Amino acid sequence: MTTTLTPHRIGQFVRRNTKHGYRTGQWAQIVMTVPSTDGDCWLVIYHDGETDVIPIDDNGTYSFRSEPIDWRS
């Protein structure tokens, strides 16, 4: 895990590209970075107001967008 990705990601949109996991493939907006026992995580919010905590890693399992997105995509 790494924290080098976090400062410039707040406010951006992220989605997981893995086959398994909570709401995989759905876009969420990164609200802030939060600490965890396993390393830093992003607190994200989905289009319906639900929140989640996503572990931060840089192994290519995420897609990012900086501009607003169509939540249904």
More confident residue, 27 or 8: 27
Mean pLDDT of 43-52: 94
Q: What is the average pLDDT across 43-70?
A: 86
* Residue in 27, 21, 23 with CA at minimum distance from that of residue 47: 27
User: What is the pLDDT at residue 72?
Assistant: 61
What percent of the chain is modeled with pLDDT above 70?
82
CA–chain centroid gap for 38, Å, is 16
Q: What is the structure's pLDDT at 6? A: 58
The pTM is what? 0.79
What confidence score (pLDDT) does residue 45 get? 95
